[in-house]
């Protein structure tokens, strides 16, 4: 079917389709005119095949209404949601800028990266306060307004934090593997800290030029988020590692509690880190230039917000953000480039876009005496008597290896997180009681589990997954020959 035929086939009362913006497996997106208000909107129309699924359509409407309750400068606004003649649709703010994904052909400069991170963190802080977790924070879902503001889009899989829908039950991990949190990979219940982990994964990719974990197999990527340590940033941006550590901590309790907390910590780090000196100086220079340019003609030294805005190349409405300096990130040593904007939805391809003018944002207020943030907290210390430790480890094994639990393929609480997993607890029992039969049997059962999963990964052609699972099995039983053969002879690239 041609694009013209598709456009003609979309007939939703109150909306006039102008052109296609993007198309994916779950929905198509059009630029449309909302006739009652004479405004352009991005109209997301669910794929007809999905519209036949009553459970899915119910969720689509419910979660669309949830997103429509959110109103924040760093979140895309949802205007309307409903169904007409069998077509389920969602109308939202049309932002004719560009996605972050489109701007990531090279490593993004530090100031621009921090600017995007702060904007999205503030949007998430607001959504989380309202009880909504996004669950799919990624570059393709970050758009840009004409003034350079980063905006989080597509709450298509968002949910209320206190809900218990099918989408949150075991075995239904939802999100994008490159950015999903460990608890999301295990299909556990998530809260706002899961979104902050995804923000950290996005930050790593912006600074390093590649995602934190990668593989041709989505399952393997999810497993890496659970089992691999937090990746190290390149040397030139290593001073930002404390922020990454707090965002991508394996345990939610060790992450920033809110997006606002991340913003405050990043400002403290910029204020004190020697590596940020050039950024601070650039900010001070721009501030002095803007102040001189904003002085009124005739020698009047009284400044107006509008005058400062014009001097800095911004419109008056943008200047109003200076009233809350924590809303804007530092952009130093260069111009924030605003790329061509289009629309990306449910993994669909961008098919429209255009250039807009670069604009520099206001600098934040920096308190020089604030201390630098600390690294992530140390692992939990395993303590307890033999009986209580065994009971805890046995419970973890039962949860992870239950035959009916499809999420057990990740091995929840078997080998991670550090300091609170069955393998380390059984090993602690053996240090307290050498040769303890229950601990030995528990470790053997875990090794069996990982060996079976490693062989299944090999059968699927996932070499990396096979290797990771075999390594996990060997951490439970380093003497198991079959696992060593599997890892060293079979789970290797040909």
Q: To which residue do tokens 């979660």 refer?
A: 63
**Spatial distance between the Cα atoms of 384 and 141, rounded to a whole number of angstroms:** 45
Report the catalytic residues.
136
CA dihedral over 446, 447, 453, 456, signed as positive or negative: negative
Describe the crossing of helices 386-401 and 437-459 by its angle, rounded to 10 degrees.
20
Cis peptide before 173 (omega within 30 of 0): no
**Spatial distance between the Cα atoms of 446 and 423, rounded to a whole number of angstroms:** 8
Nearest residue to 264 via CA among 176, 354, 350, 326: 326
| 8 A C-beta contact, residue 81 and residue 147 | no
Beta-strand relationship, 39-46 and 142-144: unpaired
List of residues 6+ apart from 197 with CB closer than 8 A: 180, 181, 182, 184, 247, 248, 249, 252, 255
**Spatial distance between the Cα atoms of 53 and 37, rounded to a whole number of angstroms:** 32
Q: Within 10 A of 322 (CB to CB), how many other CB atoms are there?
A: 18
Beginning with the edge strand found earlier in the chain, give each strand of the sheet holding 15-23 in spatial order. 78-84, 87-93, 39-46, 27-34, 15-23, 349-350
**Spatial distance between the Cα atoms of 329 and 112, rounded to a whole number of angstroms:** 8
| DSSP class of 240 | G
**φ, ψ dihedrals at 480, nearest 5°:** -75, 110
| 8 A C-beta contact, residue 198 and residue 175 | yes
Instruction: Specify burial of residue 161 (Cβ count, 10 A radius: 0-12, 13-18, 19+).
Output: middle
| 8 A C-beta contact, residue 173 and residue 186 | yes
């Amino acid at each position: 079917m041609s694009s013209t035929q598709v456009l003609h086939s979309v007939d939703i009362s109150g909306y006039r389709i102008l052109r296609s913006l993007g198309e994916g497996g779950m929905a198509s997106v059009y630029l449309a005119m909302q006739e009652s208000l004479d405004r352009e909107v991005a109209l997301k129309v669910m794929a007809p095949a999905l519209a036949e699924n009553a459970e899915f359509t119910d969720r689509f409407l419910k979660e669309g209404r949830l997103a429509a309750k959110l109103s924040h400068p760093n979140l895309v606004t949802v205007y309307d949601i409903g169904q007409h003649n069998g077509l389920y649709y969602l109308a939202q703010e049309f932002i004719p800028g560009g996605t972050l994904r489109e701007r990531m052909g090279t490593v993004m400069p530090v100031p621009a990266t921090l600017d995007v991170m702060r904007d999205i963190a503030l949007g998430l802080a607001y959504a989380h306060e309202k009880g909504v977790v996004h669950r799919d924070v990624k570059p393709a879902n970050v758009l840009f307004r004409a003034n350079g503001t980063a905006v989080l889009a597509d709450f298509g899989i968002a949910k209320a934090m206190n809900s218990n829908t099918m989408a949150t039950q075991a075995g239904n991990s939802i999100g994008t593997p490159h950015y999903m949190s460990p608890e999301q990979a295990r299909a556990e219940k998530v809260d706002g800290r899961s979104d902050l982990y995804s923000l950290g994964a996005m930050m790593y990719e912006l600074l390093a030029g590649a995602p934190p974990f990668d593989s041709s197999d989505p399952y393997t990527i999810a497993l890496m988020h659970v089992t691999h340590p937090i990746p190290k940033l390149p040397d030139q941006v290593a001073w930002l590692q404390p922020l990454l550590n707090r965002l991508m901590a394996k345990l939610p309790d060790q992450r920033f509690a809110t997006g606002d907390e991340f913003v405050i910590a990043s400002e403290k780090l910029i204020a004190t880190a020697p590596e940020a000196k050039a950024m601070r100086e650039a900010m001070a220079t721009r501030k002095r230039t803007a102040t001189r340019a904003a002085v009124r003609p005739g020698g009047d030294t009284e400044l107006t917000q509008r005058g400062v805005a014009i001097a800095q190349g911004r419109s008056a409405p943008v200047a109003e953000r200076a009233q809350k300096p924590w809303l804007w990130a530092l952009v130093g040593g260069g111009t924030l480039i605003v790329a061509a904007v289009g629309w990306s939805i449910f993994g669909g391809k961008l098919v429209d876009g255009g250039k807009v003018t670069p604009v520099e944002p206001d600098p934040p207020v920096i308190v020089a005496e604030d201390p630098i943030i600390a690294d992530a907290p140390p692992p939990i210390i395993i303590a307890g008597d033999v009986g209580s430790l065994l009971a805890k480890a046995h419970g973890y094994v039962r949860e992870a290896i239950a035959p009916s639990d499809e999420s057990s393929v990740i091995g929840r609480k078997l080998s991670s997180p550090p300091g609170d997993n069955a393998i380390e607890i059984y090993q602690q029992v053996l240090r307290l009681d050498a040769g303890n039969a229950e601990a030995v049997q528990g470790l053997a059962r875990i090794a069996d589990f990982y060996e079976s999963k490693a062989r299944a990964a090999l059968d699927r052609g996932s070499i990396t997954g096979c290797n990771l699972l075999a390594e996990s099995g060997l951490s439970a039983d380093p003497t198991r020959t079959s696992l060593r053969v599997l890892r060293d002879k079979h789970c290797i690239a040909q």
